[in-house]
Amino acid sequence: MRTQVGIVGAGASGLMLGQLLHLAGIDSIIIEAATSEHVIERVRAGVLEQTTVDLLRESGVGERLTREGMRHDGIYIAFDGNRHRIDLAGLTGGRGITIYGQNEVVKDLLAARHRSGRPVLFEVAGVTLSGLDTAQPLIQFSHDGRREEIRCDFIAGCDGFHGVCRPSIPAAAVSCFERSYPFGWLGVLANAPPASDELVYSLHDRGFALFSMRSPQVTRLYLQCAADENIDDWTDARIWSELRTRLSTRDGWAPNEGAITQKGVTGMRSFVVEPMRFGRLCLAGDAAHIVPPTGAKGLNLAIADVWRLARALEDRLRGGADDRVLNDYSARGLRRTWRAQRFSWWMTTMLHREEGESRFDARRRTADLEYLVASTAAMTSLAENYVGLPLD
Ligand code: APR
Ligand code: PHB
C-alpha cells in the first residue's frame, strides 16, 4: 500500500488527524491494534475546551456534540466541607467547557472516517516502523493473517503512551521527562442523575474525589486511591460510602446514587518527550505526552497537536521544501504541552493527599486552596487554563 500519511492508532488523535487531512484533500491510512468496539467503548475523560468544541464543529463532526454536549460555565472546588464556585465564563470573557465523553468523540470521528471512504484497519498486529529518516518511511504489520506494508511520505504516531512509535525513535535522538504520583483514580459510571449542574473537585482528609457527569441520567465519579489499588477490593457499597464521605458538603449537597455500570483504576503520571518529531515520524497525543487527569487536559492537548500537525503536513505535502514547519510543529507543541503540564501538576498536587507527606506540605496545600477561592487573580489563572488557551 502507498499513502501520503500513515497514521498509527485510531484513538482521538489518529481519527481527528485523519479527518483534518481528509478535509485538506490529503490521503491517509489508519491502522489500529484494537477492535473498533474496544475503541468506541473505552471509557475515558469527558471535558472539552471551547477550542476543541469549535474545531470538532468546523471539521464536520460536531452535530451530536452540539445536541448532546453539556455546556458548563463554572466548576466547584470543595475543601473543609465547603463548596466554592469558580465562575469560568465570568472570569474568561464568556469561555466555558463542554461535557461529552471522549468515546463519544471517537464514535463521531469513526462515523466521519467511514463516510470519507478512506481506510481504517482494525486488529493489526506486529507493527514495525523503518526508514524514518528517509523520504519514504515504511510501516509493516500483520492484518487478517497476512503481512502488509504501507509506504508513506510521513508517519503520524498516534498510538498512545504504550504504542510502538515513540520507542521506534533511537534513544539518543530524544529526551524524556517524567514524574509519577503515588496514587491513582478509581473511576465509576453510575445510572444516577447528576446532583449538581457543574463538576465538583473535592479535597477531604481521606483524599480527593471528583463529581462529574456524562448525561442527564449518568454520573461519572472518581476517588483518589493507591496507584496499585485492586478494584476487586471495592464493592459498590464501599465506593458509595467513600464518595459520600469525601464529596458531601455542609450545605447539604451530596451526589445522587444509582447502579454502578462500569468501574476501573487508572494510574497518574506526567510525561513529555522532546522533540515530538524524528525524521518523517511525528508524534501526537498520548504517544508524545501524558498529563494527570486532574486538569482535564489530555484529550484537549491531543486535539491541539493534530490540528497543528495537519497544518504542518499540508504545508509540507503541498511543496514546502524544508523541515522548518515540522520543527515548528514540535517547538510550538512543546510550549503548549509544558503549560498544560504545569497546570495539571498544580491541580493534582493541590487536590490530593500523599501518604507520609510532611505537615508543612499539608498546611501549604490548605493555604493554596484558601488563596485560590479568596483571590480573583488566582481564580482567573485557574479559569483561563481550565477553559484552555487559544490554538497557536
Ligand atoms: N499499532 C496500532 N495501534 C496501536 C498500537 C500499535 N502498535 N499501540 C496502540 N495502538 C492504539 C491503541 O489501541 C489506541 O486505540 O493507539 C490508540 C491510541 O489512542 P489513545 O490511547 O486514545 O491516545 P490518543 O488518541 O492520543 O488520545 C489521547 O486519550 O488517554 C486519553 O487523556 C488522554 O484524552 C487523551 C486521549
Ligand atoms: C470526567 O468527566 O471524566 C473528568 C472530568 C474532569 C476531570 C477528569 C475527568 O478533571
pLDDT in tens, 303-345: 999 999 999 999 999 987 778 888 899 999 999 999 999 999 9
Catalytic residues: 72, 201, 293, 297, 386
Mutate to test the pocket of ligand 1, among 40, 48, 102, 286 (most ligand atoms within 8 A of CB): 286
Q: Of all atoms in ligand 2, which is nearest to the CA of residue 296?
A: 10
Cα-to-centroid distance, 282 and ligand 2 (Å): 28
* pLDDT for the residue numbered 240: 98
Residue nearest to atom 21 of ligand 1 (CA): 160
Q: Of all atoms in ligand 1, which is nearest to the CA of residue 285?
A: 26
* pLDDT for the residue numbered 343: 98
pLDDT in tens, 10-45: 999 999 999 999 999 999 999 999 999 999 999 889
pLDDT in tens, 249-272: 999 999 999 999 999 999 999 999
Q: Between the CA of residue 127 and those of 15, 105, 211, 282, what are the distances in Å?
A: 18, 25, 39, 16
| Sign of the torsion formed by the C-alpha atoms of 7, 11, 17 and 19 | positive
Residue 286 host element (H or E):
none
* pLDDT for the residue numbered 133: 95
Cα-to-centroid distance, 142 and ligand 2 (Å): 36
pLDDT band at 89 (very low <50, low <70, confident <90, very high): very high
Q: Is residue 247 over pLDDT 90?
A: yes
Residue 205 host element (H or E):
none
Residue nearest to atom 33 of ligand 1 (CA): 298
Mean pLDDT, the chain, rounded, equals 97
Cβ(46) – ligand 2 distance below 6 Å: yes
Q: Tell me which residue of 326, 303, 307, 331 sits closest to 315, measured CA to CA.
A: 326
* pLDDT for the residue numbered 110: 98
Cβ(164) – ligand 1 distance below 6 Å: yes
Cα-to-centroid distance, 290 and ligand 1 (Å): 11
